[in-house]
Amino acid sequence: MADALNAVQMLERDLRDVFGARLRSLVRYGMHERGAASNGDHGAHGHHQPALTHTLVIVDTLTPDDLRACAARIESWHDGGLATPLMMSAGEFARSLDVFPFEFSSIVADHVVVSGRNPFDGLRIEPSDLRWACEVQARGHLLHLRQGYVETRGRGDALAVLLVRSAPAWASLLQNLARLDGVTSTDVTDAVRHAERTLNLTSGLGEIVSLVGVKEISSGQALKLFPSYLDTVERLTKHVDSWSGSK
């Protein structure tokens, strides 16, 4: 915690050197998500993955010279455990909420203003924007699975690769479905349970999620999992398409 605080303070000093009075806000976010992820999460190889500190930077203007100045400092930021800051001009930020509603709603739910004003004051993420983004994600996932299956030519080994590679995107989609319905937990297990209730499924929805971080599965397992996986994605897509927000 102290190391993260020191790193953010270093970042603030550097940003003031670069932007001066044009620096409007420095926001740190994702503390709860990182805390949950680091609790027993040691990655695919059993080694602990240090959590990065994520920040949002809002400035009056953002020029190529500013980017060059930040690029000269990025190595020290990374060495301090900072992820590359998300930098936006104030006008650009206000117009981006409807384009990235899930990303910004996650920041809204888990952030601390380090310096300057709270950039989210007076702004609202519309439920209709969340629904639209979730439908785009769901339809894209469905099309990817259909196209990917055709490209496997029916081979179980190729299908196994497709399923493993699709698992992180599937987990993200389930979490966004939960957020669409107001579920605040960042635990993917809670998202799986919510989706099972929402889609009237008794089990099986989390089987693909369990493949996140797995290197490979057998051809037989892939051939067994794929039909129900595809059917579930189709059902989820239809649900989001007709979503009205009513419980």
pLDDT at 81: 94
Residues 150-186 pLDDT 10s: 999 999 999 999 999 999 999 999 999 998 988 877 7
Q: What residues does CATH 1.20.120 cover in the chain?
A: 127-241
- β-pair type (23-29, 54-59): antiparallel
Contact 188, 174 (CB under 8 A): yes
Cβ-contact 44, 213 below 8 angstroms? yes
Beta bridge partners of 111: 29
Q: Report pLDDT for 46.
A: 43
User: With pLDDT > 70 as the criterion, what percentage of the chain qualifies?
Assistant: 90
- Fold of domain 127-241: Four Helix Bundle (Hemerythrin (Met), subunit A) (1.20.120)
- Choose the CATH number for 2-116 among 3.30.420, 3.20.20, 3.30.70, 3.30.460: 3.30.460
pTM: 0.71
Q: Where in the chain is the domain with CATH 3.30.460?
A: 2-116
Q: Does 45 score more than 70 pLDDT?
A: no
pLDDT tens by residue, 11-42: 999 999 999 999 999 999 987 654 444 444 43
Look at the chain and count its residues.
247
**Within 10 A of 229 (CB to CB), how many other CB atoms are there?**
21
DSSP assignment string, 148-210: HHHHTTT-HHHHHHHHHHHHHHHHHHHHHHHHHTT-----HHHHHHHHHHHTT--S-TTTTGG
Long-range CB pairs of 181-188, under 8 A, 24+ apart, other chains included: 181/247, 184/109, 186/32, 186/33, 186/36, 186/110, 187/36, 188/212
Q: What is the pLDDT of residues 98-148, one digit of tens each?
A: 888 888 888 887 889 999 999 998 888 888 999 999 999 999 999 999 999
CA-based nearest residue to 187, from 209, 216, 166: 209
Q: Which residues of 108-147 are buried (b: 16+ CB within 10 A; e: fewer)?
A: bebbebbeeeebbeeeebeeebbbbbbbebbeebbeebee
pLDDT band at 49 (very low <50, low <70, confident <90, very high): low
Residue 129 carries which side chain, given as an amino acid letter?
D
